[in-house]
Every structure is written in C-alpha cells, then in structure tokens.
Amino acid sequence: MDELLLGDLVQMRKKHPCGSDRFTVIRVGADIKIRCEGCGRIVMMDRAEFVKRVKKILGHSETPVRGTNEED
C-alpha cells in the first residue's frame, strides 16, 4: 500500500450502510479515522484492520488538511 496521508480519498472493500465505498482520511497514526463521502459518518479503526479493509487509494488531497477536526 502507498503512503497514507491526511485528506486521501480511499475505496474500501465493503460498502458503508449508506451505500458509499469512498472515504476521506482525517486521522493517520496507530489508528486511522475516515469519513464516509456519502453520509459524513466517521469510522475509526486500527492501522492493521484498515490495511486489510482498504481496496485502493483513489487520490491524494490537493489542498492541505489543517488537522483532524471533524468540523473542517
């Protein structure tokens, strides 16, 4: 898997209950926090689980991400 950065758009293997399989990375560390692009729900999982569940990285963010505040 490529290097994971804040703001990356990723596609997961399983769809979220809302029907979307695309998520934005909002926290990177020992735990990964992602926000659903469909409904905005936030999911947090440990890095090992994330690596197993991610299908591919769709793109890196062009705009810098200021932090992990969910309101941004």
Query: Which of the pair, 20 or 1, is modelled with greater confidence?
Result: 20
Using alpha carbons, select from 29, 34, 30 the residue that is nearest to residue 53. 34
Which two structure tokens, joined as six digits, stand for 50? 């994330």
Q: HEC profile for the chain?
A: CCCCCCCCEEEECCCCCCCCCEEEEEECCCEEEEEECCCCCEEEEEHHHHHHHEEEEEECCCCCCCCCCCCC
Task: Assess whether pLDDT exceeds 80 at residue 72.
Answer: no
Rounded mean pLDDT, 32-56? 93
Residue 23 tokens read as 């998520």
**Average pLDDT of the residues of the chain:** 85
CA 69, chain centre distance (Å): 14
Find the mean pLDDT for residues 22-39. Answer: 92
